[in-house]
Amino acid sequence: MQEIQIAANEAGQRLDKLLAKYLSEAPKSFLYKMLRKKNIVLNGKKASGNEKLVAGDSVKLFLSDETIQKFSKEITVCKSNAKLDILYEDDDILLVNKPAGMLSQKAEAKDISLVEHLISYLLESGQLTRENLKSFKPSICNRLDRNTSGLVVCGKSLKGLQTMGQLFKERTLKKYYRCIVAGNVTEKQYVKGYLIKDEKKNQVTVSDTYFPESQEIETEYRPIQQLKQGTLLEVHLITGKTHQIRAHLASRGHAIIGDYKYGSREINDRYKKEYQLSHQLLHAYRLEMPKTKELPQLSEKMFVAPLPKQFQKIIEGESR
């Protein structure tokens, strides 16, 4: 017999959903059969599986250790030696300044991403156990392209993950980026367009005209500093679609420096040669939180991720 004590991270979900995580290799028919036969009980009583769990509930599995082991997926954790640049941390969330080159999430099974680094950090700091990972997995709430640096919000608790995910979805928090673009931008701009994604090429195009299956996008940007052959911009990402900032600015004739997918090879080659630049100069710089009752410790707070050293060096080198 094994017992699962329901804590905050397991509460709020249906019993059958929890069992599907805990015994992830078991067919659903097996789980419901065990519930019917009272081999799995909730608070000592027969359950159907659709009960919503609350903190303090007890789920008992009257199954052999061999059966539980058979249907439990082995928890594999990649031990990470990466030192995260943590900007803020509380019981529910953690803010990381992600370096360019680090994946936000796995693209392939063999990849090691920020999610793996996060879990490794929480395990090593004693905030998480392997047993916890059977029913809840900390993860990220927003995703940056591999070669984009800056602020990523990580959910340490179910409340943190769900609340921040909802705020990003509803666009009630404000996201600001810094980037260096080709050309001279002299005025603040608010631009709208329609984004079309090519899944095979992992590339998007932006049009001023609506097309079927296109997504409406909104981007706002303002110049901060004029450079020799470019402009340092602050970009307010109003909607958040794939490659939106990169493609939207490129469609306006101001591609981000270092972005070979949407920008000029000739210009990018110069920065590569002079500054050994290997990625686009796009950085998730600032996050402004709305009022939030669910996470009052974050209500109306602002968080800033300092620019990477190479980014600052290029600004200095290209200053007029």
pLDDT tens-digit map of 40-63: 999 999 999 999 999 999 999 999
Rg (CA), the chain: 23
Q: Name the DSSP class of 219.
A: E
Q: In the Cβ-directed half-sphere of 194, how many Cα atoms lie within 13 Å?
A: 8
Checking if the pLDDT of 3 tops 90, the result is: yes
Find residue 182's DSSP bridge partners. 230
Tell me whether residue 206 is exposed, middle or buried, using C-beta atoms within 10 angstroms of its C-beta: 0 to 12, 13 to 18, 19 or more.
buried
State the average pLDDT for the chain.
94
- Cα-based distances in Å from 133 to 76, 141, 178, 182: 10, 18, 36, 45
Token digits of residue 239: 């909607």
* pLDDT above 90 coverage of the chain, percent: 85
pLDDT digits (tens, 9 = 90+) for 62-102: 999 999 989 988 777 767 778 899 999 999 999 999 999 99
Token digits of residue 293: 């009752």
The average pLDDT across 108-124 equals 90
Q: How far is 241 from 197, CA to CA, in rounded Å?
A: 10
Choose the most confident range, by mean pLDDT, from 69-73, 106-110, 304-308: 304-308
Position 74 scores a pLDDT of 73
The average pLDDT across 235-262 equals 96
The average pLDDT across 125-136 equals 88
The average pLDDT across 210-234 equals 95
Tell me whether residue 265 is exposed, middle or buried, using C-beta atoms within 10 angstroms of its C-beta: 0 to 12, 13 to 18, 19 or more.
exposed
Q: What pLDDT band is residue 148 in, cutting at 50, 70 and 90?
A: very high
Q: What pLDDT band is residue 196 in, cutting at 50, 70 and 90?
A: very high
Give how far the C-alpha of residue 124 lies from the chain's centroid of Cα atoms, to the nearest Å. Answer: 21
Checking if the pLDDT of 191 tops 80, the result is: yes
pLDDT digits (tens, 9 = 90+) for 172-182: 999 999 999 99
Q: Where are the beta strands (DSSP E) in 10-161?
A: 40-42, 45-46, 58-61, 86-89, 93-98, 139-140, 149-155
Q: What pLDDT band is residue 107 in, cutting at 50, 70 and 90?
A: confident
In terms of Cα–Cα distance, which of 291, 281, 288 is closest to 238?
288
Token digits of residue 58: 């007890």
Q: Name the DSSP class of 306.
A: P
pTM, 2 dp: 0.88
Q: What pLDDT band is residue 232 in, cutting at 50, 70 and 90?
A: very high
pLDDT digits (tens, 9 = 90+) for 265-282: 999 999 999 999 999 999
Q: Where are the beta strands (DSSP E) in the chain?
A: 2-5, 40-42, 45-46, 58-61, 86-89, 93-98, 139-140, 149-155, 174-182, 189-198, 203-207, 215-226, 230-237, 282-288, 302-304
In terms of Cα–Cα distance, which of 8, 40, 46, 45 is closest to 22?
40
* pLDDT above 70 coverage of the chain, percent: 100
Judge whether 287 and 151 are in contact, CB under 8 Å: yes
pLDDT digits (tens, 9 = 90+) for 156-172: 999 999 999 999 999 99
Position 71 scores a pLDDT of 93
Q: What pLDDT band is residue 199 in, cutting at 50, 70 and 90?
A: confident
Position 30 scores a pLDDT of 96
Q: How far is 98 from 83, CA to CA, in rounded Å?
A: 11
Q: How far is 230 from 219, CA to CA, in rounded Å?
A: 19
Position 95 scores a pLDDT of 98
Position 284 scores a pLDDT of 98
Q: How far is 127 from 298, CA to CA, in rounded Å?
A: 20
